[in-house]
Amino acid sequence: MTQPVFWGLVGMALVVMGLYALIVHAHLLRKVLALNIMSSGVFLVFIGLARRAPGEGTPPAADPVPQAMVLTGIVVAVAATGLALALIVRLRALTGRTTLGDEGGH
């Protein structure tokens, strides 16, 4: 197994673990953390596989396009986390709850 494939598999494992935590935990902070782990996994897949041996005639450096895309994805994830935390803090101030309250889940 080559190194890029290894990182791809680790990324997929993180995605699945994050999904498990997202479903199992009721506390909203943990759900947000779980989503962050999932997104880290997706980014790892994206960027890890970019180091596979390129075809002929390409420079040996890693493909820059996935790197730029992952940078974009990271900023989006930060924005999502910030917004989610603001909403959760507000919900707790209003009701004292840190869960969604009813088990509809998703």
Partner 1 sequence: MPLQLLGPGGLGPDLLLAAVFLPLAAALVCFLLPRLAATLGLISALLTAAATLALMLGVLAGGGMEVQLGGWQAPLGIRWRSDGLSAALMAMTAVVGAMVSLYAAAYFRHTAYERTYFWPIWLVLWAALNALFLSADLFNLYVTLELLGFAAVSLTALGGGAAALTGAIRYLLVSVLGSLAYLLGVALVYHGCGTVDIALVAACVPDAPRPALKVAVAAMIAGLLLKTALFPFHVWLPPAHGSAPAPVSAVLSALVVKASFYLVLRLWLDVLGGGDGDGSGRWLAELLGVLGAAAVIWGSVLALRQARLKLLIAYSTVAQIGYLFMAFPLAVAGGAAAWTGALYLALAHGLAKAAMFLSAGSLLRFGGHDRIAELDSAVHRLPLTLTAFALAGVSIMGLPPSGGFIGKWLLLEAAFQQGRFVLAAVILLGGVLAAAYVFKVVGHAFTPAERERRLRSVPPGMEWSALLLALAAIVLGLTLPLISPLLQVGTDAAVAPPVSAAVALTAGGAV
Partner 2 sequence: MTEPQHRPGSGRQPASDGAAASGTSRAPEALPPLARVLLALALLGLFGGLAAAVLSLAQPAPGLAAAVAERLDESGVSHPVTAVLLNFRGYDTLLELVVLVLALMGTWSVGRARGCAGNAPGPLLRQLPGLLAPLMVLVAGYLLWVGAHAPGGAFQAGSLLGGVGILLCLSGRTLPPWAQRPSLRVLAVLGVAVFTLLGTVAALLPGGAPLDWPPAQAKTLILTIELAAMLSIGVILAALFTGGRP
Q: Which residues bind partner 1 (CB under 8 A)?
A: 15, 22, 28, 31-32, 35, 38-39, 42, 45-46, 49-50, 52, 65-66, 69, 72-73, 76, 79-80, 83-84, 87-88, 90-91, 94-95, 97, 100-101, 104-106
Among partner 1, partner 2, none, what binds residue 5 when CB lies within 5 to 8 Å by partner kind? partner 2
Evaluate whether 57 touches 63 at the Cβ level (below 8 Å). no
> Which of 86, 7, 100 minimizes the C-alpha distance to 46?
7
For residue 93, give both structure tokens. Answer: 């101030």
Q: Can you state the angle between helices 28-48 and 3-24, rounded to 10 degrees?
A: 160
Any contact of residue 16 with partner 2 (CB under 8 A)? yes
Binding to partner 2 (CB under 8 A): which residues in 66-95?
66-69, 71-72, 75-76, 78-80, 82-83, 85-87, 89-90, 93, 95
Any contact of residue 3 with partner 2 (CB under 8 A)? no
Evaluate whether 15 touches 41 at the Cβ level (below 8 Å). yes
